A and B are shown apart, each in its own frame.
Chain A
Amino acid sequence: MFVFLSRRLLFLVATLLVVSFLVYLLNEAAPGDVARKILGPYATLEQIALLTEELGLNRSVFIRYGEWLGGLFTGDLGYSTLFKAPVGEIIWDRLANTALLAVIAFALIVPLSIVLGVAAGMRESAALDRSISLASIITTSIPEFASGVFLASIFAIWLGWLPGTSTLVRDGGWSITSQLVLPVAVMVLYDLGYVVRMVRASMADVMREPYIRTAVLKGLSWPEVVFRHALRNALIAPFTVILLQINYLVTGVVVVEMIFAYPGFGRMMLEAALAQDIALIEAGVVVAVFIAVSTQILGDLAYMILNPRVRLR
């Protein structure tokens, strides 16, 4: 157990180092002058030379990477040229905003998908299964930008119940809570169907297993069969998929954040990329990779707890 965890953590660190170095290399050693990228096309040659000197850009990329890495540990993430502020001041703020969306959406997606997936999968091809499966295909196949615009038209423009933008600023009289409703709804609608289908497929497989027949022929009631015997087995396979959703919810919701002008992490990364804000991109990528790898470790741990047959190596 201890060996397993330390091995995984080591793997996490190694992944972070490799990815951060690659991103650093791509940004800083790619063709084109870093100083030019930072200052933009209208800077004079003198200004560029000055900045190159100031940032030490004519030194080896390894030395600069080492310095940057050292900065990471001391909390100095560099200076964002886009926001004209230290990266540390922006990134945690944005990450917190996104985490707020993600936590609410995740808290809705997990129980809903388990309930709907189990309900659909416990009796394959029954009316309930067919309606849940159809509904989840439909919601998953509508892209976020479509459902976002659609929901905003109904609830913000037509009915006027909710704000059309979610800037997290209390202007126009909309509470923060009301600003969160539409973005969360779009994310849940889009993601839920996918997870429901995963849980349903796994549940349907489990219900075909001989041990379910054993439970039925023991004379257990239907709820006992489903909850005592099927549920835990049915959750083993989709669990990894469910945890992967954290990834999507944190780093993949650019579209939702753009539609609702939400000051989140994804939008920040997009803006940073467009403005060639190198320090911000580098720090953002490290954060994203950290989230991805740590959810995987979490997934492995949960898998082990759910499935007694797993032997960890």
Chain B
Amino acid sequence: MTSEPSRAGAPSVLVFDEARISYRTRADELNVVPGFSLSIGRGEAVGLVGESGSGKSTLAFAAMGYLGHAGRLVSGRILFEGEDMAGLSAGELRALRGLRMAMVYQDPMSSLNPVMKAGAQLMEVPMRRLGLGRDEARERALAMLAEVEFADPASILERYPHQLSGGQQQRVVIAMALMSEPALLILDEPTTGLDVTVEAAVLDLIGALRHCHDSAILFISHNLGTVARVSDRIAVLYAGELVEEAPAGELFEAPRHPYTRALFNCLPGLARHAAIEGDPPSPGARPEGCAFAPRCAFAKPGPCTSEPIALRASGERRVRCVRLPELAPWTLPVPAATTARAEPPTDRILDVSKLTKAYRVGSPLFGLGEGSRRVQALDGVSLWAGRGETLAIVGESGSGKSTLAGIVAGLELGAEGVVRLNGVPVQHLKVEHRPEALRRGVQIVFQNPDGTLNPSHRVGYALARALRRLAGVERRRLPAEVARLLDLVRLPRAYAARKPRQLSGGEKQRVAIARALAGAPDLLIADEPVSALDLSVQAAIVNLLSELQEARGMTLLFISHDLALVRYLADRVAVMYRGRVMEFGPADEVFSPPFHPYTLTLLSSVTARAEGQSEGAGEGPEGATLAVGCPFHHRCPYKLGSICRDETPPSREAGAEHRIACHIPLGELAAIGASSEEHGEENRDAP
């Protein structure tokens, strides 16, 4: 295969020509990218999709000429504006970076310097690189901040990164990258880790900026849905190899490669999402033939596993699969029907009533004085979960969902209100003061498994300790019990001898779940258990939790910012916003009209993402809650008027167990919901 010539008319900004990239390790060279070709034309936006470890970030850094000491381009070429990057001196490379090419990174908090104000970091580009004076640089920074939709750019200049929300940080990083009108903008997972509505806003922004600046974009993500919103063309990467490349519309209409199809199945909201079984091969252990063959449902020993597979081009599409002609035509998976539970549970294992908790938050620099204020983390929260049910609590960051989990788990003390576990009030009992049975009965799985597992303890040791302490298992029965726990979470028993760093993110989360299950809890709290994981792994973990919940009859309190994720998992859903429950009810009722306007916002940012459409979303929740009025009023598209600001909305009974806190009468909410659903259907029918 030869390097693809750039599209007619537009000269290529970036060309990968059979780029082969390796990292030197102590023992030998690890080949991460075996040979990658792709070109990006002027002003074109290309999405690069792949799981973590597929080499997509390596390609991004290779394009910036920044592979570090260990990485190098073994063969092939990377051309930037026609020039071979390998031939550039350090000085020439530096001249390109920040001026002709710029990058936006995954984690905006850590990519901004914590001790420099946002303004100083923004003005650095014009001052240090373009040689402008301070005033002019400031002007430019202000203009660029206004362009990335900050209402008050001047105040942003004076803030330190930690004084900005995640979405604001990422917009500052984007502004910084655009300061010099680069020819190429690389976005490496720019929305991963952001809330759904914030993600939607950032994606909209990128889409809008594309049309004002003629920068070419290389957009990298593990999420096909995200990439679709901003890309003209999409390239799918697997184990460092391009497996499919096509114009975005064509790819979405009919993905060809089995891996691309599998990625589609992982998208939440389209179907009960299927996980891709197995793991991508590690760079040292690439299989003969097709790298995806071991995980591929269509793989055939022989043609798929003997020789390297070549990319085949047809029209504007390239696919790397030998069995392409034999593959069945693609059909979009149909959303699966929600499985209705046979008998409604009567017994409430968790019952939260009018729970209220406030924190004192100081002014940014000096803890006390005028700047200090009360933030209402929870404001009269009432909800409950029946035994053996899954209760999903959904909300953006700052909605109080983690505070609620902390109080239920006994990690924090509630200020007012009642939390009953099995009928026992526990809101004033810290976990160490709770009766043994209660303590064992509630376990928690956190978002970041790295923080939960002690890096110096082997998996077997961590599990054995939990078994001893939570279940009082005798020493001699420990190995058998550890093996049983590993079976339960579908990990090989040999993993008992591994240390956390030898596990992937998904595997670590499985260990964390196994540990939580050691004491056979009645209530398992999963606090954003998958938001740090790849989509393909997310589905597997969610399915695992759901199966375990059903098999063991335990109650699952599933906390997430992603409404789509909980759709097929939850029996009951509570939608929270700034410490209040906006809507609470059985899942099938929450997911059908009447909706609370906020639930609708969350749903629309979800469908919009899956379909490459956008529905405007404002700034995420932030700052202090109001004591009165509806906290959602200033973002609400259906706001009635001053009543929403001044009066606490009534709790309307939309069903026997379904409550919506809104001033808008239920009939109108139902009408709004129905019309927006129709709208959504239309979009789905005509992509």
Q: Which residues of B contact A308 (CB under 8 A)?
A: 114-115, 160, 162, 364-365
Quick one: CB contact mask for B109-126 with A, threshold 8 Å, 1 for yes? 011111110000000110
Encode contact with B along A190-231: 1 for CB under 8 Å, 0 otherwise: 000000000000000000011101111111110010001100
In the assembly, what is the distance between CA of A236 and CA of B115, in Å? 10
Question: Would B162 and A309 count as touching, CB distance under 8 A?
Answer: yes
Task: Tell whether B540 is near chain A: CB-to-CB under 8 Å.
Answer: no
Binds A, one of B47-55, B96-104, B253-261: B96-104
Q: How far is the CA of A107 from the CA of B367 in the complex (A)?
A: 33
> Whole-angstrom distance from the CB of A226 to the nearest CB of chain B?
13
Task: Name the residue among A4, A218, A220, A229 with the largest chain B CB count within 10 angstroms.
Answer: A218
Complex: A214 Cα to B115 Cα, angstroms: 14
Q: Does B176 contact A (CB under 8 A)?
A: yes
B115 to A233, Cβ gap below 8 A? yes
Quick check: B367 and A210 within 8 Å, CB to CB? no
B125 touching A4, Cβ below 8 Å: no
> Is A232 a contact partner of B111 (Cβ separation < 8 A)?
no
Q: How far is the CB of A188 from chain B (nearest CB, A)?
A: 29
Nearest CB to that of B114 among chain A residues?
A309
The answer to whether the Cβ of B7 comes within 8 Å of any Cβ in the partner chain is: no
Asked if B107 CB lies within 8 Å of chain A CBs, one says yes
Which residues on the B side are within 8 Å of A214 (C-beta)?
Answer: 103, 105, 111-113, 173
A311 at the binding interface (Cβ < 8 Å): yes
- A307 lies within 8 A of chain B by Cβ: yes
For residue B117, which residue of chain A has the nearest CB?
A: A308
Q: Nearest-CB distance from A207 to chain B (Å)? A: 12
CB distance from B592 to the nearest CB of A (A): 43
Give B61-99 as 1s and 0s: 1 = Cβ < 8 Å from A's Cβ atoms: 000101000000000000000000000000000111111
A218 touches B365 (CB 8 A): no
Most buried by A among B97, B113, B114, B365: B113
Please determine whether B110 and A211 come into contact, CB atoms closer than 8 angstroms: yes
**Chain A min CB distance to B204 (Å):** 24
CA of A136 to CA of B64 in the docked complex: distance in angstroms?
Answer: 37
| Other-chain residue from B94, B110, B366 in contact with A219 (beta carbon distance below 8 A) | B94
Q: Mark A7-35, 1 if CB is under 8 A from B, else 0.
A: 00000000000000000000000000000
Q: Are A211 and B367 within 8 A (Cβ)?
A: no
Shortest C-beta distance, A97 to chain B (Å), equals 39
Whether, in the assembled complex, B368 has its beta carbon less than 8 Å from a beta carbon of chain A, the answer is: yes
Assembled-state Cα–Cα distance A213/B111 (Å): 8
Q: Which residue of B lies closest to A220 (CB)?
A: B128
Q: Which residues of A contact B365 (CB under 8 A)?
A: 308, 311
Asked if A1 is an interface residue, CB under 8 A from chain B, the answer is: yes
A300 to B124, CA, bound (A): 30
Cβ contacts under 8 Å, B105 to chain A: 210, 213-214
* A220 to B128 Cα, complex, angstroms: 7
* CB <8 Å contact, B367 and A312: yes
A79 to B115, CA, bound (A): 52
How far apart are the CA atoms of A233 and B112 in the complex, in Å? 12
**A219 to B177 Cα, complex, angstroms:** 11
Say yes or no: B97 contacts A232, CB within 8 Å. Answer: no
Q: A211-B110, A233-B114, A306-B115 are in contact. Are A219 and B96 (CB under 8 A)?
A: yes
Given contacts A216-B66, A216-B97, contact A311 B113 (CB under 8 A): no
Q: Which residue of A lies closest to B112 (CB)?
A: A211
Known pairs A213-B66, A216-B66, A217-B66; A307 contacts B115 (CB<8 A): yes
Contacts of B103 in A (CB 8 A): 214, 217
Q: Which residue of B lies closest to A224 (CB)?
A: B128
* Contact assessment for A4 and B114 in the assembled complex, using a CB-CB cutoff below 8 Å: no
Cβ of A170 < 8 Å from any Cβ of B? Answer: no
Give, as a whole number of angstroms, the nearest-CB distance from B425 to chain A. Answer: 31
Answer yes or no: B207 CB below 8 A from chain A CBs. Answer: no
Q: Which residues of A contact B552 (CB under 8 A)?
A: none
* A98 to B185 Cα, complex, angstroms: 60
User: Which chain A residues border B479 with CB–CB below 8 Å?
Assistant: none
Interface size class of A (residues with CB under 8 A): 20 to 34
A236 to B365, CA, bound (A): 16
Complex Cα spacing A16 to B554, Å: 57
Within 8 Å CB of A4, what residues of B? 366-367
Q: Name which residue of chain A comes closest to B163, CB basis.
A: A308
**Inter-subunit contact B162/A219 (CB<8 Å):** no
A309 to B112, CA, bound (A): 13
Chain A CB within 8 A of B498 CB: no
CB contact between A312 and one of B95, B173, B366 (< 8 Å): that residue? B366
**Interface contact A209-B110, CB-CB below 8 Å:** yes
CB of A3 within 8 A of CB of B368, answer yes
Q: Which chain B residues lie closer than 8 Å to A224 at the CB level?
A: 128
Q: Which of B64, B96, B97, B362 contacts A311 (CB 8 A)?
A: B362
Give the residue name and chain of the B residue nearest to A229 (CB). Answer: B113
Chain A stretch 102-145: residues in CB contact (< 8 A) with chain B? none
B129 beta carbon closer than 8 Å to chain A? yes
CB-based nearest A residue for B179: A218
Given A220-B124, A308-B162, A309-B160, A215-B113 contact (CB < 8 Å): yes
- Residues of A near B99 (CB, < 8 A) are 219
- Among A219, A221, A228, A308: residue with most chain B CB under 10 A: A219
Q: Known A1-B366, A4-B366, A308-B162; judge A218-B114 contact (CB<8 A).
A: no
A211:B114 contact, CB within 8 angstroms: yes
Residues of A within 8 A of B111 (CB): 210-211, 213-214
Bound CA span A214–B172, Å: 13
Question: Are B128 and A210 closer than 8 Å at their CB atoms?
Answer: no
How many Å lie between the Cα of A217 and that of B129 in the bound state? 12
B364: A residues at CB distance < 8 A: 308, 311
Using Cβ atoms and an 8 Å threshold, which residues of chain A touch B112? 211, 214
Chain A residue numbers with a CB within 8 Å of B176 are: 218
The answer to whether A59 has its CB under 8 Å from any CB of chain B is no
Closest partner residue, chain A, to B100 (CB atom): A219
A288 smallest CB distance to B (angstroms): 31
Chain A residues in 8 Å Cβ range of B362: 311
Q: State whether the Cβ of A313 lies closer than 8 Å to any Cβ in chain B.
A: yes
Residues of A within 8 A of B102 (CB): 217-218
B95 with A219: CB separation less than 8 A: yes
Chain A residues with CB below 8 A from B97, complex form: 216-219
Which residues of chain B in 309-363 are interfacial with respect to chain A, using CB atoms and an 8 Å cutoff? 362
Residues of B within 8 A of A233 (CB): 113-115
Minimum Cβ distance to chain A for residue B180 (Å): 9
Q: Which A-B residue pairs are the 6 nearest by beta carbons?
A: A219-B98, A219-B97, A218-B98, A210-B110, A211-B113, A210-B111
Known: A210-B107, A217-B98. 17 other contacts (CB 8 A): A1-B366, A3-B368, A4-B366, A209-B110, A211-B111, A213-B105, A214-B173, A218-B129, A219-B95, A229-B113, A233-B114, A236-B115, A307-B114, A308-B162, A309-B160, A311-B362, A312-B367
Residues in chain A within 8 A of chain B (CB atoms): 1, 3-4, 209-211, 213-221, 224, 228-229, 232-233, 236, 306-309, 311-313
27 contacts between A and B (CB under 8 A): A3-B367, A4-B367, A210-B105, A213-B66, A213-B105, A214-B173, A216-B66, A216-B97, A217-B64, A217-B97, A217-B98, A217-B102, A218-B102, A218-B124, A218-B125, A218-B128, A218-B129, A219-B95, A220-B129, A228-B116, A232-B115, A236-B115, A308-B114, A309-B114, A309-B160, A309-B162, A311-B367
List residues of chain B with CB under 8 Å of any chain A CB: 64, 66, 94-99, 102-103, 105, 107, 110-116, 124-125, 128-129, 160, 162, 173, 176, 362, 364-368
